[in-house]
């Protein structure tokens, strides 16, 4: 009887050793191809549960020790830190994490898989690049930009992370005034996604737009239709803060869940996501930037040019200020 028990126990453990359960908010078919290839290479099946961040987070919290999830993949560092604060993740370590991923893009509980820059877009027919010379995010509150800037709503997590990073660098008192002046420079009531902001500049409605780099490359690719491709061709990217700390960066990243039943397999999958081949596959399909150094970006992204990144401000600091950032944004009149 004891032998039967041991055999059953071994079979049960071995069954779980051959799978990993991934909860993800990413919606790219290209990601699924990566997981299938990982299974082919390792024999470890990747079970994917896709959804929005809040419902998935709620499920993880409610199920607690009974949750089958191993990895939580989120599209913004603010979401990662929200999960970390709720004690969803466990500490993770790997020599690969430490050697391949810059310290500013990881923590003890989560690690960046891909990154993007949130920058300024302008129309060369409406404004010269010389007028933007030495421009910083901080300058966007100046009177010269009154009625000229298009940006998404305050509830957008990318905007909240940007403002949180500015609070980290400049302090709360500075940002209270900055936000009031910045909101006065909006060209219209904030609306739409990042592509809508770029379209506003292309149409001449706005002179500047704030958007993530991958949306621009997506438009240029033609995957969102000829009209958006032609509009993007009328617009150019501008990377601010090049004479000081560098451009604001954000990440898509993963953490291993606290009660992960397959932690070893989870670490193997994360390490696989950080290999040059997989990094190139990810960014060539999503138009993000690779998190590691020795992987190439998509050609459309590379055409945007090289730029100085802000590597001095840990992305983890955004989480510290994100709630305060949203409160200040709303108080300033940012809808």
Span 317-330, average pLDDT: 94
**pLDDT at residue 5, as a whole number:** 36
What pLDDT is recorded for position 99?
95
Single out the residue of 289, 250, 253, 249 nearest to residue 84, CA to CA.
Answer: 253
How many domains is the chain partitioned into structurally? 2
208 and 326, same domain (yes or no): yes
Give the predicted TM-score (pTM) of the model.
0.90
Closest of 185, 166, 184, 183 to residue 175, by C-alpha: 166
Mean pLDDT of the chain: 93
Per-residue model confidence (pLDDT) at position 311: 93
Is the same domain home to 63 and 184?
A: no
3-state secondary structure of 67: coil
The more confident residue out of 27 and 283 is 283
Helix (H, G, I), strand (E, B) or coil at 290: strand
State the pLDDT confidence band at 9, using cuts at 50, 70 and 90.
very low
User: Same domain for 133 and 181?
Assistant: yes
Q: Is 28 in the same domain as 97?
A: yes
CA angle 164, 169, 172 (to 5 degrees): 65
| CATH number (domain holding residue 80) | 3.40.190.10
Domain that holds residue 63: 2-114+251-296
Cβ–Cβ < 8 Å for 287, 218: yes
Residues 199 and 129 grouped into a single domain: yes
Model confidence band, residue 294 (pLDDT cutoffs 50, 70, 90): confident
Residue 13 has pLDDT above 70, yes or no: no
As a whole-number percent, the residues of the chain with pLDDT over 70 amount to: 95
């Amino acid at each position: 009887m004891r032998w039967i028990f041991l055999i059953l126990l071994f079979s049960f453990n071995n069954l779980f050793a051959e799978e990993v359960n991934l909860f993800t908010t990413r919606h790219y078919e290209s990601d699924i191809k990566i997981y299938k290839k990982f299974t082919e290479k390792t024999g470890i099946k990747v079970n994917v549960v896709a959804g929005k961040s809040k419902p998935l987070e709620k499920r993880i919290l409610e199920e607690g020790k009974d949750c089958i999830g191993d990895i939580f993949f989120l599209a913004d560092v603010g979401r990662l830190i929200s999960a970390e604060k709720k004690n969803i993740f466990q500490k993770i370590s790997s020599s690969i994490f430490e050697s391949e991923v810059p310290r500013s893009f990881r923590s003890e509980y989560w690690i960046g898989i891909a990154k993007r820059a949130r920058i300024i877009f302008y129309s060369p027919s409406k404004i010269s690049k010389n007028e933007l010379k030495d421009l910083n995010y901080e300058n966007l509150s100046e009177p010269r930009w009154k009625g000229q800037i298009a940006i998404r709503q305050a509830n957008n997590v990318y905007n909240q992370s940007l403002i949180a990073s500015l609070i980290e660098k400049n302090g709360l008192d500075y940002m209270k005034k900055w936000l009031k002046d910045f909101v006065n420079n909006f060209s219209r009531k904030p609306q739409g996604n990042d592509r809508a902001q770029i379209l506003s500049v292309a149409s001449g409605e706005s002179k500047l737009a704030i958007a993530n780099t991958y949306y621009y490359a997506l438009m240029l690719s033609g995957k969102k239709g000829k009209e958006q491709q032609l509009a993007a061709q009328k617009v150019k990217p501008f990377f601010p803060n090049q004479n000081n700390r560098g451009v604001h960066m954000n990440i898509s990243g993963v953490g291993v869940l606290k009660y992960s039943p397959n932690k070893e397999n989870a670490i193997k999958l994360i390490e696989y996501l950080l290999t040059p081949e997989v990094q190139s596959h990810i960014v060539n399909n999503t138009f993000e930037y690779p998190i590691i150094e020795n992987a190439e970006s998509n050609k459309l992204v590379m055409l945007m040019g090289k730029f100085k990144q802000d590597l001095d401000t840990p992305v983890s600091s955004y989480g510290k200020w994100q709630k305060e950032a949203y409160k200040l944004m709303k108080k300033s009149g940012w809808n």
